[in-house]
Structure 1
């Protein structure tokens, strides 16, 4: 007998049976409790960060499923010219640090790293597109080598500060990005940002040691700017959210 037939026989399946049973009491058997002993229980996902797997770097905030680390930036694509500069700077930097690492990519940040819920990504990107729609393209060059520490002082960066002309344009764009961040109740960029592109980093707070060789690093930069590290035209703004990339065309 099928399960459906069993249920119909036990409880009745039509109004005729119900009418016949009115006023009569029956001892109906209870259905057996389900056996859940073999049901597989899936454990919740837990992510443990191990800085040793990525050169000693540590997360500024914990990994949570559904939260996507995001930021807005200008991409710099003159890779060969930057790598030539790095080769020469690296020789000097290692005299003040036991180890020196190259940055994974070259960009100028226009926001802090912030967290977006997955279902907000599309709406955030649309708002950013509208906000940047009438922004003009501009040329970007570098004026000096600067040393920065991240917020928890776990890494020190050797960076290239953009020239004053580009600083002005980047500040205007950053203000527009801040408007969108505020709309989504996210933290704005720094109050007085120093727009720069990080190219090398070392573990720990090595700012004092590295600033002692700034004159030598800036002399190398000056020579490379004259030879190959020329200003580039910035025509797009980028946003990365997890593994998703968005690009916004400037006028």
Structure 2
């Protein structure tokens, strides 16, 4: 029998029958007590730094906002990993817990926030702006110790050489043009192009900078061996969980 038929039958019963039925329902299906259950909005996201080695988000998680940045992806190889492990051994002699950076790259923009409906046009604009840039060889010239803007993390980085700096400046100028179209923050006025290879929580710059000569001697030694330049013929962009690549000439 359909639900409508049941409703029709209920409507034809006497008021006493209806009252009896409602009383039976109340006894059979008591209202549960939900007072002890916390109410959390479905779009609430709680960041837990313990899940990310103590790192904190630069931006709060907001649905519809896509953290995005443009960069040069650097290929890992045994020579580079060997150098990073040696740098880590020296830095860790002070007792700090240094971590090898997971994704080795050179940033070409700050991390900015895109709205979802901007992604397609932003991607197209970046691709067009880089279409006339020539490929180049990228190398490193020194080691530096840097802190992020809020001094919550310290990094050991490899600074790119002079020729690479010039090429990357050309690229960031083109990227900045696109960012300005979307009223997004531009890159730094005087950027220092580098690749972070190690990081540690907190501001450890004073205690690590004393090893800078050892770090640079180690880099020179590796450069004289097999740590050669790499060809940069693609620029990468990460938008939320999406990845894009743009070919250079």
Please list the CA deviations of residues 165-186 of structure 1 after superposition, one character each: whole Å capped at 9, or x if unmatched. 0000000100100000001110
59, 62, 72: which is aligned to 1:61? 59
SS at match of 2:93: coil
Unaligned runs of 5+ in 1: 7-36
Q: Which moved more, 1:139-148 or 1:95-104?
A: 95-104
Please list the CA deviations of residues 88-134 of structure 1 after superposition, one character each: whole Å capped at 9, or x if unmatched. 11110001342110101100000001111111111100000010010
1:2 & 1:141 partners in 2: Cα distance? 75
1:234 & 1:94 partners in 2: Cα distance? 32
Unaligned runs of 5+ in 2: 8-30, 32-38
The normalised TM-score by structure 2 is: 0.83
- Number of residue pairs matched? 217
2:221 & 2:58 partners in 1: Cα distance? 36
71, 74, 79: which is aligned to 1:73? 71
Q: How does 1:51-130 map to 2 (within 5 A)?
A: 51-130=49-128
Q: How does 1:3-42 map to 2 (within 5 A)?
A: none
Is 1:236–2:221 an aligned residue pair? no
Moved >3 Å (runs of 4+): none
158, 178, 202: which is aligned to 1:204? 202
The CA deviation at 1:2 is 9.2
Would you tell me which structure has more helix in proportion to its own residues?
2
SS at match of 1:193: coil
2:95 & 2:162 partners in 1: Cα distance? 30
141, 144, 151: which is aligned to 1:143? 141
The normalised TM-score by structure 1 is: 0.82
Question: Of the two, which has the highest radius of gyration?
Answer: 1
